[in-house]
């Protein structure tokens, strides 16, 4: 059963998902020009970034915004096209015309990142969801009390991410990620899910709150907005929609 503070919205298509979430993020930036925004990689958030870029072209000023990434692979050389700093520079920072120095990624000591993001205070955290219910790289079984930490990727996650690499063997086995407790400190959560492959995870997220589905912890957050395309919503009951 979802919390009364959780809003679930089914948009007509992925582009509409991006537009609706970007509109809410843009409103935060307009109200607070030095907003701190947590950002995610993966396919689902990209329509949000495209919609934000359009708003920048239309006059939205993001010069004062600081962007904090959820996670980063370990073991890839600096500048590798699939390291998350490179991905976010490509899909977010460059299209928005933002200063690369405003992008912060957990690619150094985890304690330093945890202290930095705690001090900054995230106004809104954008999330995707993995097919096994992970958010960030918090795989099933991760403690709800975890803060930014080093983690081992589940094989299912590596297989899902292999499409971005030449071979499965090229996908890193370890990462650094914001912990679930870190994510939960954000003032607002915006989760997006697109595609049939995310439908089961979305349904599980809205079921029992359990560490076997890390995203289920979001039901305990006071301000969560979940935006889905119709294919990601196929396993939700009519009541939950």
CATH number at residue 76: 3.40.50.1360
Separation of alpha carbons 178 and 68, rounded Å: 10
Specify the DSSP element, H or E, that contains 182: helix 180-184
Would you state the structure tokens that stand for residue 84, as one six-digit string?
């998350």
pLDDT value, residue 241: 42
pLDDT higher than 70, residue 1: no
User: How many domains, in total, are found in the chain?
Assistant: 1
Q: Judge whether 45 lies within some domain.
A: yes
Q: Judge whether 239 lies within some domain.
A: no
Residue 100 neighbours by CB under 8 Å, 6+ apart: 89, 93
Q: Judge whether 64 lies within some domain.
A: yes
Mean pLDDT calculated for residue range 210-228: 98
Among 92-106, 179-193, 225-239, the least confident range: 225-239
Q: Judge whether 210 lies within some domain.
A: yes
Q: Judge whether 87 lies within some domain.
A: yes
Q: Which of 150, 147, 209 is nearest to 182 (CA)?
A: 147
Mean pLDDT calculated for residue range 182-193: 98
Query: 60 vs 166, which has greater pLDDT?
Result: 60
pLDDT higher than 80, residue 239: no
CB 104 within 8 A of CB 116: yes
pLDDT value, residue 238: 42
**Domain interval for residue 160:** 6-228
Q: Judge whether 234 lies within some domain.
A: no
Q: pLDDT confidence of 3, banded at 50, 70, 90?
A: low
Q: Judge whether 240 lies within some domain.
A: no
The pTM of this model reads 0.93
pLDDT value, residue 63: 97
Query: 2 vs 50, which has greater pLDDT?
Result: 50
CA 147 to chain centre: 16
Q: Judge whether 43 lies within some domain.
A: yes
Specify the DSSP element, H or E, that contains 175: strand 174-177
- The edge-to-edge listing of strands for the beta sheet with 149-152 is 71-74, 174-177, 149-152
């Amino acid at each position: 059963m979802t919390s009364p503070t959780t809003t679930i919205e089914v948009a007509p298509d992925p582009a509409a998902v991006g537009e609706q979430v970007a509109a809410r993020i843009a409103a935060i930036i307009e109200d607070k020009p030095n907003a701190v925004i947590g950002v995610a990689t993966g396919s689902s958030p990209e329509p949000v970034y495209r919609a934000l870029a359009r708003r920048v072209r239309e006059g939205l000023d993001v010069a004062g915004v600081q962007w904090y990434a959820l996670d980063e692979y370990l073991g890839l050389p600096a500048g590798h096209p699939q390291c998350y700093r490179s991905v976010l520079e490509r899909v977010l920072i460059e299209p928005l015309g933002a200063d690369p120095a405003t992008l912060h990624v957990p690619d150094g000591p985890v304690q330093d990142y945890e202290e930095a993001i705690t001090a900054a205070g995230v106004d809104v955290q954008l999330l995707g969801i993995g097919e096994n219910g992970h958010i960030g790289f918090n795989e099933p079984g991760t403690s709800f009390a975890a803060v930014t930490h080093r983690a081992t990727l589940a094989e299912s996650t590596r297989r899902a991410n292999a499409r971005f690499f030449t071979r499965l063997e090229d996908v890193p086995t370890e990462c650094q990620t914001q912990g679930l407790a870190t994510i939960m400190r954000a003032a607002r959560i915006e989760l997006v899910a697109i595609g049939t492959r995310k439908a089961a995870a979305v349904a599980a997220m809205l079921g029992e709150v359990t560490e076997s589905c890390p995203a289920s912890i979001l039901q305990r957050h006071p301000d969560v907005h979940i935006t889905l395309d119709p294919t990601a919503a196929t396993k939700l009951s009519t009541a939950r929609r």
